[in-house]
Structure 1
């Protein structure tokens, strides 16, 4: 088992215990806004000030947040597992990197800015505003480097290659409601991978997994990682 390649998909549930809310948290940032208003290209076109304000608040929250035991465990697995460990995250908070891991960010990062005119990327300031100028083309077209609903996630080709070549696929803290990530388990299983779901509760796609670990991410993820490393 020591040489196996592991691909891990993480969602909002892994960061919830670090104080960063999921889409469905009552009273959280998402609950105060309609997704159509703050997480779509159309919403940005209608009211860029509102969208920037929303992501400025999220950027501050993420900067102040610390990784929890689940992030630390995945970083340890990536460091100590003799085979390849690929973390693919739907999260934009940067907590995997704070824990010392490397991750593929399929939905972008709060710490990044993107020019809607020329595609240039640069580190985002803590506060962005309508008319933020691109450092490359100078167009007043700066936006958060976040994949919004209706846009194509980043790095899909390389993610597909990893899913097709992994021996073990794990999903941590995902709802199973957002595609294409919700289809990753089927893609990995079709290629022969063993699949495991680690979640606070059953998800919409729980039946697609071979194995299940139910409980808080800060408990079930470190226990799962410890089992894997003990098997070496």
Structure 2
């Protein structure tokens, strides 16, 4: 087994599906049940904030019952072993807005699509950890104005978070791994090509082959709770 120094791991909804959280684009996923243009855009929030906030309040309630699974714990253990072994860089980038990676103990973590358990004021940009229901009449704890609180999530039409840092790490990584992601949404779908251009070994762990599976050199198919611990053990 080659000794890799710099690793970037990308996780998607598939890593949390076995914790009881819904995926998005697969058959039966959230966007098959709900219209994202009515729930996940700045325009939808401006037009009908109560419906949008209600949707995300329900997702917060769902998240409160979810627990990190074996895939999350395997990635946390890998991070600890990687850094203790003196390797240079470890970055876990997640498209998920849940806190299951944190529950498992991951620290070198970047939420590129935001975090469900944080609220942001659209009027003063104050950001804070929050488990309460969001409501139109609720004032911002910083500016005290009501009507501007929204979930700290990246909606359609908004720029993902931390892209500069992600591309800097992709430029120097020698191992890129995508776990539980469909590979259909950019810019994340382009990360594997960026890593390949820089000579990184690329690994895909998903339930089944996806649209960009051909870009990966190594594949492991099956539930994340099985494939991720298996793959981590194989790194040695």
User: TM-score per shorter chain, which class?
Assistant: over 0.9
- Compute the displacement of 1:80 (Å): 0.7
- Show structure 2 runs of 5+ residues with no match: none
Structure 1 residue aligned with 2:62: 61
Structure 2 residue aligned with 1:77: 78
- Compute the displacement of 1:29 (Å): 4.7
- Distance (whole Å) between structure 2 residues aligned to residue 47 and residue 15 of structure 1: 29
Correspondent of 2:189 among 173, 182, 185 = 182
- Distance (whole Å) between structure 1 residues aligned to residue 151 and residue 99 of structure 2: 14
Residues 131 and 142 in structure 1, CA contact (< 8 A), matched pair in contact too: no
Secondary structure class of the residue paired with 1:177? coil
Question: Over the residues paired in the alignment, what is the CA RMSD in angstroms?
Answer: 1.4
Correspondent of 1:114 among 90, 114, 120 = 120
Structure 2 residue aligned with 1:170: 177
Structure 2 residue aligned with 1:93: 98
- Distance (whole Å) between structure 1 residues aligned to residue 29 and residue 167 of structure 2: 33
Verify: 1:196 aligned to 2:203, yes or no.
yes
TM-score, with structure 1 as normaliser:
0.94
- Distance (whole Å) between structure 1 residues aligned to residue 231 and residue 191 of structure 2: 20
- Compute the displacement of 1:196 (Å): 0.6
Verify: 1:221 aligned to 2:222, yes or no.
no
Count of aligned residue pairs for this structure pair: 229
- Show structure 1 runs of 5+ residues with no match: none
Structure 2 residue aligned with 1:136: 142
TM-score, with structure 2 as normaliser:
0.93
Verify: 1:148 aligned to 2:149, yes or no.
no
Residues 60 and 126 in structure 1, CA contact (< 8 A), matched pair in contact too: no
Residues 198 and 215 in structure 1, CA contact (< 8 A), matched pair in contact too: yes
Residues 4 and 174 in structure 2, CA contact (< 8 A), matched pair in contact too: no
Residues 161-219 of structure 1: CA deviation (Å, up to 9, x unaligned): 11111110000000111111000001111111110110001111111111111111110
Structure 2 residue aligned with 1:32: 33
Residues 96-143 of structure 1: CA deviation (Å, up to 9, x unaligned): 000011210000001100111121101123311123322222222110
Residues 4 and 175 in structure 2, CA contact (< 8 A), matched pair in contact too: no
Secondary structure class of the residue paired with 2:211? coil
Residues 88 and 104 in structure 1, CA contact (< 8 A), matched pair in contact too: yes
Secondary structure class of the residue paired with 2:144? coil
- Compute the displacement of 1:159 (Å): 0.8
